[in-house]
């Protein structure tokens, strides 16, 4: 039976209209997988040396154990963003003579064959042989290794259940974020030493391998949670049911802002009522906390380059995540939109003004970081100007080459549907452009001169915006019928 289900899943992939159309995306993902694997392998050989240099008198395995919770916390967060859910077209299977519990078991088993479940071994295997096996017997080393493997699988199934739970409840993301940050705060302020407690468990395994039995409990618990969820949702009426907001949000008040308000209302409704843009928007909120990671070493002096990176990611990530696919967000109704009585210039300006407003709000939310270092205010102000005057126009420039329609109902996490060459290429000038300009101009003008140059380029772009709108309006009108055709055929 599992062989038949595997065959169905494979045919579903190979017979999809999108199969073979995303060669560039497949190659890029392959390079990313290779990059992460090499980095994890290198880390596996470097960590024993790092521990020996920084903790010469301590037990190196216990030091490594004390940091395991940090790894699993980032692993869980990273999986939430990147790991996809195990899926198969369920509707045809539910009317066949296949038990629901068999389908559920198959989905859970198939989900184990995921890159994120194999990636940790590139880190774990070198450490096991060079660090643990050198200090403990083979039986103890094996028990320690198996304990970590069980935790990896438990993290995998916990991720799947959390994603299903958050997809079912609109507020689930906020609950997960609050719980995650609360646990981080408890550990950071040493109210509860979570990292120490977690590491102590693996120390117990090293002392007595029988403690390995405890590691089976979270694995079984997460498997049962997923199994119960699948059994309660594998019904035809629930599979066909489309997820909708419990409350239809009314943004009609934006229409009072005139013609621009109508288009901004269209953009906001599109973001709020559809899963993929809504997920992208929620993920940009997480970047507001990025400053806690890169600005925390204020006592040692923060490199000015980090201010550029922080300002870029925290202020402009909303525009970058949405602008990367502009105007494909409207691909499902783009043909209808082009038949309406409106001007293309208003359509572009509305998207621009909405992004300016969001970027300014994000900028204000980052100003409290000035309590860490007052220079943050100057750098973030320069990045705000640069983003509004330069990056937004780059988004319009690449957007006119859009070719692929987007499925708004799917999640944006680890979803490369609709990705083309333009979507990959736009990230380089948006993210690397200002950093390269700053680093190169700093060699000639100094740090203050380079910062003024970034802000000045943004001001020039803002002043030239009326002329740039005329150019982009003409360009998009010329591409209008090509966009309609490409969206229809993709």
Query: What pLDDT does 123 receive?
Result: 95
> What's the pLDDT band for 277 if we cut at 50, 70, 90?
confident
* pLDDT of 470 strictly over 70: yes
Backbone torsion region of residue 16, taken as left when φ is above 0, otherwise alpha when ψ lies between -120 and 50, otherwise beta: beta
> What's the pLDDT band for 490 if we cut at 50, 70, 90?
low
Percent of the chain with pLDDT over 70: 81
HSE value, Cβ hemisphere, 13 Å, CA-based, for 23: 1
Mean pLDDT is lowest, of 67-81, 235-249, 345-359, 453-467, for: 235-249
pLDDT tens-digit map of 410-425: 655 545 555 666 666 7
Q: Which residue has the tokens 């195990």?
A: 86
CA-nearest of 40, 25, 48 to 78 is 40
Percent of the chain with pLDDT over 90: 37
Query: What pLDDT does 242 receive?
Result: 44
36-45 contact pairs (CB < 8 A, 24+): 36/119, 37/119, 37/122, 40/119, 40/120, 40/122, 40/123, 41/122, 41/123, 41/126, 43/123, 44/122, 44/123, 44/124, 44/125, 44/126, 44/127, 45/126, 45/130
The CA-atom distances, in angstroms, between 406 and each of 28, 87, 176, 326, 403 are 19, 19, 27, 10, 10
> What's the pLDDT band for 405 if we cut at 50, 70, 90?
confident
Query: Greater confidence, 136 or 342?
Result: 136
> What's the pLDDT band for 235 if we cut at 50, 70, 90?
low
When the pLDDT of each residue in the chain is averaged and rounded to a whole number, the result is 82
Q: What value does the mean pLDDT take over residues 144-160?
A: 95
> What's the pLDDT band for 145 if we cut at 50, 70, 90?
very high
pTM of the predicted structure, to 2 decimals: 0.64
pLDDT tens-digit map of 168-183: 765 666 677 788 878 8
Q: Which residue has the tokens 């109902």?
A: 409
> What's the pLDDT band for 347 if we cut at 50, 70, 90?
confident
Whether the CA torsion 356, 359, 361, 366 is positive or negative: it is: negative
Whether the CA torsion 324, 329, 335, 337 is positive or negative: it is: negative
Q: Which residue has the tokens 């973030």?
A: 380
Query: What pLDDT does 240 receive?
Result: 47
> What's the pLDDT band for 84 if we cut at 50, 70, 90?
confident
Query: Where is mean pLDDT largest: 18-27, 248-257, 283-292, 471-480?
Result: 471-480
Compute the distance between CA of residue 1 and CA of residue 14 in angstroms, rounded to an integer.
20
Residue 169 backbone phi and psi in degrees, to 5: -120, 125
Mean pLDDT is lowest, of 119-128, 259-268, 473-482, for: 259-268
Mean pLDDT is lowest, of 18-27, 153-162, 227-236, 321-330, for: 18-27
First to last CA, the chain: 34
Query: What pLDDT does 255 receive?
Result: 54
Contacts of 4 (CB under 8 A, 6+ apart): none
Query: What pLDDT does 295 receive?
Result: 80
Alpha-helical (H) ranges within 324-430 are: 334-338, 344-366, 375-386, 392-399, 421-427
Cα 446–chain centre separation = 35
pLDDT tens-digit map of 295-339: 876 555 677 888 888 888 899 888 888 888 888 888 887 787 777
Compute the distance between CA of residue 38 and CA of residue 310 in angstroms, rounded to an integer.
26
DSSP state of 84: P
Query: What pLDDT does 410 receive?
Result: 61
Contacts of 361 (CB under 8 A, 6+ apart): none
Query: Greater confidence, 412 or 197?
Result: 197
Compute the distance between CA of residue 216 and CA of residue 154 in angstroms, rounded to an integer.
9
* pLDDT of 454 strictly over 90: yes
* pLDDT of 141 strictly over 50: yes
Can you read off the two tokens belonging to residue 201? 């468990």
Counting DSSP H helices and E strands in the chain, the numbers are: 23, 0
Contact 144, 202 (CB under 8 A): yes
Q: What value does the mean pLDDT take over residues 97-105?
A: 83
Compute the distance between CA of residue 194 and CA of residue 69 in angstroms, rounded to an integer.
8
* pLDDT of 192 strictly over 50: yes
Query: What pLDDT does 247 receive?
Result: 41
Compute the distance between CA of residue 349 and CA of residue 473 in angstroms, rounded to an integer.
10
Contact 379, 295 (CB under 8 A): no
């Amino acid at each position: 039976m599992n062989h038949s289900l595997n065959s169905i899943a494979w045919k579903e992939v190979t017979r999809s209209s999108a199969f073979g159309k995303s060669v560039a995306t497949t190659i890029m993902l392959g390079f990313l997988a290779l990059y992460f694997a090499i980095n994890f392998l290198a880390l596996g050989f470097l960590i024993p040396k790092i521990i020996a240099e920084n903790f010469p008198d301590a037990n190196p395995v216990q030091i490594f154990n004390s940091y395991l919770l940090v790894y699993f916390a980032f692993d869980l967060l990273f999986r939430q963003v990147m790991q996809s859910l195990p899926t198969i077209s369920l509707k045809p299977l539910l009317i066949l003579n296949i038990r629901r519990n068999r389908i559920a078991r198959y989905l859970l088993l198939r989900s184990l064959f995921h890159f994120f479940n194999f990636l940790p071994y590139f880190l774990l295997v070198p450490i096991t042989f060079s660090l643990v096996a050198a200090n403990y017997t083979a039986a103890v080393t094996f028990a320690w290794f198996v304990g970590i493997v069980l935790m990896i699988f438990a993290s995998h199934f916990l991720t799947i259940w959390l994603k299903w739970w958050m997809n079912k409840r609109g507020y689930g993301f906020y609950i997960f974020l609050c719980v995650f940050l609360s646990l981080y705060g408890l550990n950071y302020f040493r109210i509860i030493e979570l990292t120490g407690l977690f590491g102590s468990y693996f120390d117990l395994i090293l002392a007595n391998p029988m403690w390995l039995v405890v590691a089976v409990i979270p694995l079984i618990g997460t498997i049962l949670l997923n199994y119960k969820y699948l059994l309660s949702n594998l019904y035809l009426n629930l599979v066909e049911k489309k997820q909708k907001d419990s409350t239809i949000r009314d943004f009609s008040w934006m229409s009072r802002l005139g013609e621009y308000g109508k288009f901004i209302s269209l953009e906001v409704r599109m973001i709020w009522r559809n899963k993929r843009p809504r997920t992208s928007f929620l993920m940009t909120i997480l970047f507001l906390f990025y400053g806690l990671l890169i600005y925390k070493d204020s006592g040692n002096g923060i490199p000015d380059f980090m201010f550029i990176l922080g300002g870029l990611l925290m202020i402009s990530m909303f525009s970058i995540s949405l602008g990367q696919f502009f105007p494909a967000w409207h691909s499902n109704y783009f043909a209808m939109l082009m038949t309406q009585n409106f001007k293309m210039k208003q359509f572009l300006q509305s998207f621009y003004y909405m992004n300016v407003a969001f970027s300014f709000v994000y900028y204000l939310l980052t100003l409290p970081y000035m309590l860490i270092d007052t220079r943050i205010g100057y750098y973030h102000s320069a990045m705000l100007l640069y983003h509004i005057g330069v990056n937004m126009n780059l988004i319009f420039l690449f957007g006119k080459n859009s070719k692929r329609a987007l499925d708004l109902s799917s999640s944006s996490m680890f979803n490369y549907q609709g990705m083309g060459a333009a979507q990959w290429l736009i990230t380089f000038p948006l993210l690397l452009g200002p950093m390269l300009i700053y680093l190169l101009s700093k060699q000639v003008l100094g740090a203050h001169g380079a910062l003024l140059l970034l802000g000045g380029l943004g001001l020039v772009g803002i002043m030239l915006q009326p002329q740039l709108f005329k150019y982009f309006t003409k360009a998009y009108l010329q591409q209008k019928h090509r966009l309609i055709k490409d969206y229809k055929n993709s």
